[in-house]
Amino acid sequence: MVTWVAAALIAAGGAFFTAGLVGLLRFPDVYARIHAVTKADTLGLGLVALGVALVQPSPVHSARVLLVWILAALASGAAGHLLCRAAWLEEVEAGKRDTS
């Protein structure tokens, strides 16, 4: 039972990763792309981490996996902010498809 719940969570996480990836490739400007990647991937990683944590042999192992997610979420959020800020300071306009 736990295995199935874990599998479902991991699959859901994979779906969010895929959504983030599609957003990265298809969204028009740099801000929207950063938005897609940081939000969807953080949630996706959270779901995968939750699923993996469920099937760990001990609570200590589960806590480690969740700690990885917390650190990644912190880093991803801050990195998204810094990238957006850098783009803003370079006066990249929103809503325009850039060449990169």
Partner 1 sequence: MSWAAWWFDGVLVGSLIVLAWGSVMARDPFTGIVRYVIFGLLAALTWARLWAPDLALAEAAIGAGLTGALLLSTLGRMGLSRSSGHAGEALVPVPPRLTGRKPLPLGFPELVLTLALAAGVAIGAAVMHLGAARSPGLGTAVVALLPQSGIESEVAAVLLDFRAYDTLLEMAVLLTAVLAIWCLGVIRFRRSPWRVDPVLASLARALVPFLLLIAAWLLQAGLHGPGGAFQAGAILGAAGVLWTLADRRALRLGERRSARVGLVLGLGTFAIGAFLPTLVGRPLLTWAPGSAPAWAWGIELAIAVSVGLSLTALFMGGLAEVPHIDEEEP
* Shortest distance, position 95 Cβ to partner 1, whole Å: 17
Residues 25-84 close enough to bind partner 1 by CB under 8 A: 71, 74-75, 78, 81-82
DSSP codes, 16-46: HHHHHHHHHHH-SSHHHHHHHHHHHHHHHHH
Cα distance between residue 18 and residue 40, in whole Å: 9
Residue 90 in contact with partner 1, rule: CB under 8 A: yes
* Shortest distance, position 21 Cβ to partner 1, whole Å: 14
Number of residues lying near partner 1 (CB under 8 A): 12
Cα distance between residue 38 and residue 46, in whole Å: 12
Place of tokens 């609570």: 59
**Binding residues for partner 1 (CB under 8 A):** 71, 74-75, 78, 81-82, 85-87, 90, 92, 100
